Amino acid sequence: MQVTDEELLAYVNETLSEQRLVAVESAIRSSPELQRRLQMLLRSVDTGEQSVGAVWRERRLSCPSREELRLWVFGALPAEEAAYVSFHLQTVQCPYCRASAEDIRSAATDRAATERRRRRVFASSAGHLRRSGRSGSRGG
């Protein structure tokens, strides 16, 4: 199995897809050569010898902003930008952006459920208050 240096570093940073993470870990466990390469890469990172690609990934320069992710989740992003975000999430499978998009979806679902409950409680309370207000005026 071929494993690139970028994949080895992504393995360390846990930024590979789950399936690829398992495959790379299995390859590392069974290959002394991969273990040696991984150790060399970790030493070079510790000494500050990083490639432009490593800095790019570390700072997540290709990641869309949280606002762009929010617009993508709600289908409000222009087509070209939406295509990039879809590629980033589904093909690249960026774990940070996937988690952020899921958080946005979850928050939207929670807000919608909270709003439905609020309206239901308000409607039932308003009806109850109207009924009790009428009976209070009859008795007073």
- Provide the residue-wise pLDDT of the chain in tens; the chain has 140 residues: 899 988 888 888 877 778 888 999 999 999 999 999 999 988 887 666 566 766 676 777 889 999 999 999 999 999 999 999 999 999 888 888 998 999 999 988 888 888 888 888 888 776 566 665 555 555 44
Query: Can you give the pLDDT at residue 129?
Result: 65
C-beta of residue 84 within 8 angstroms of C-beta of residue 64? yes
Shared domain for 51 and 69, answered yes or no, is: no
The reported pTM is 0.50
Which range marks the domain in which residue 83 is found?
63-140
Burial class for 72, CB neighbours closer than 10 Å (0-12, 13-18, 19+): buried
The structure tokens listed for 97 are 């952006």
Which residue is associated with the tokens 């071929």? 2
Q: What is the Cα–Cα distance from 21 to 117, expressed in whole angstroms?
A: 41
Shared domain for 51 and 107, answered yes or no, is: no
Shared domain for 100 and 113, answered yes or no, is: yes
